[in-house]
């Protein structure tokens, strides 16, 4: 029964994507904003729509109402599954997503990421930060936030993995506040390497208070990273009602 329901959900998702592609292309054609803000915002609505075609996903969001998406942030989130992207797309904001370059080479989905102005990372490049930081700065200068998964990949265990410092160093360099997002439950929506959706998934998404970077120096990126990672770990610990050691992969 789960397999049949999953096939129907995937059929609905594919139909949404096929319908959205030409609409997004037309929106991009007439989007005069230098950051393609409106195209990106329309693309995020696709993620929102995808999150709604699965009746078993119960999504609880806290803290989104106080955020102005034209007051830019470096947004960071823990990463648990492919479901993170449509769940985060429930937030009523536009932000450019930093993602591995391979995703941009996918047919249809990759085309839409390019049209929306998302930011590819060539992880094999020795100077990948230069290009990524340059594009991020362009969007930040045009009052659009950028979004990172500082773990770099989805957690296999559900625990919080080690963070990379790039997003935090960028935030300090550009004097942009960091906005942490905490997710839990998406690992139960669609497990890694599986196409079958779980029968029931209760997802929590919380926006933590932004962290000011205006008084920080470039060399303090690691300290900022650890501070924000601790905030995310503490929230996961509280939600799961377990010690920090059971949500933090670096303590295992």
pLDDT on residue 41: 97
Q: Taking a C-beta distance cutoff of 8 angstroms, is the pair 150, 166 a contact?
A: yes
Among 18, 13, 12, 11, residue whose Cα is nearest residue 112:
18
Helix (H) / strand (E) containing 95 = strand 95-100
Kindly report which listed range (37-51, 187-201, 207-221) carries the lowest average pLDDT score.
187-201
Q: Check: CB of residue 185 under 8 Å from CB of residue 92.
A: no
The pLDDT, as a whole number, for residue 234 is: 98
pTM: 0.94
Query: What pLDDT is stored for residue 52 in this prediction?
Result: 93
The DSSP string of 181-233 is EEEESGGGTS-TT--PPPS-EEEEEEEPPPB--TT--GGGHHHHHHHHHHHHH
Predicted confidence at residue 126, as pLDDT, reads 60
Q: How far is Cα 12 from Cα 219, in angstroms, rounded to an integer?
A: 48
Cβ-count burial 85-116 (b if 16+ within 10 Å, e if not): bbbbbbbebbbbbbbeeeebeeeeebebbebb
Between these two residues, 131 and 2, which has the higher pLDDT value? 131
Read off the pLDDT of residues 135-147 as tens digits, 9 standing for 90 and up. Answer: 999 999 999 999 9
pLDDT band at 107 (very low <50, low <70, confident <90, very high): very high
Residues in CB range of 99: below 8 A, 6 or more apart? 113, 118, 119, 120, 121
Strands 201-207 and 145-148: unpaired
Select from 3.30.980, 3.40.50, 1.20.1740, 3.40.1130 the CATH code of 2-251.
3.40.1130
Which residues does 69 contact at the CB level (< 8 Å), separation at least 6? 92, 93, 94, 95, 144, 145
Residue located via tokens 């960028």: 170
- Tell me the per-residue pLDDT of 155-174, one tens digit each, with 9 for 90 and over: 989 999 999 999 999 999 99
Q: What's the pLDDT at 2?
A: 76
Residues 89-92: contacts with CB within 8 Å, 24+ apart? 89/44, 89/45, 89/46, 89/47, 89/48, 89/50, 89/51, 90/47, 90/48, 90/51, 90/59, 90/61, 90/205, 91/44, 91/61, 91/64, 91/67, 91/205, 91/207, 92/64
Burial of residue 66 (number of CB atoms within 10 Å: 0-12, 13-18, 19+):
exposed
* Average confidence (pLDDT) over 108-126: 89
221-249 pLDDT, tens digit each:
999 999 999 999 999 999 999 999 999 99
């Amino acid at each position: 029964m789960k397999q049949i329901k999953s096939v129907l959900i995937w059929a609905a998702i594919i139909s949404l994507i096929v319908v959205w592609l030409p609409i997004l292309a037309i929106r991009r054609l007439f989007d005069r904003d230098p950051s393609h803000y409106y195209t990106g915002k329309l693309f995020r609505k696709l993620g929102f729509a995808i999150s709604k075609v699965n009746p078993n996903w119960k999504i609880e969001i806290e803290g989104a109402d106080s955020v102005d998406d034209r007051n830019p942030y470096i947004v960071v989130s823990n990463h648990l599954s492919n479901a993170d992207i449509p769940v985060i797309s429930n937030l009523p904001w536009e932000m450019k997503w930093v993602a591995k370059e391979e995703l941009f080479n996918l047919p249809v989905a990759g085309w839409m990421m390019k049209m929306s102005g998302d930011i590819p990372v060539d992880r094999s490049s020795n100077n990948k930060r230069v290009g990524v930081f340059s594009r991020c700065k362009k969007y930040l200068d045009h009052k659009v936030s950028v979004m990172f998964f500082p773990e770099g990949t989805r957690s296999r265990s559900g625990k919080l993995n080690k963070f990379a410092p790039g997003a935090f160093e960028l935030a300090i360099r550009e004097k942009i506040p960091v906005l942490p997002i905490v997710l839990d439950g998406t690992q139960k929506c669609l497990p890694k390497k599986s196409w079958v959706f779980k029968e029931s998934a209760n997802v929590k998404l919380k926006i933590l208070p932004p962290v000011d970077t205006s008084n920080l120096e470039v060399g303090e990126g690691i300290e900022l990273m650890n501070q924000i990672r601790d905030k995310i770990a503490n929230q996961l610990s509280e939600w799961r009602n377990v010690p920090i050691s059971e949500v933090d992969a670096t303590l295992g």
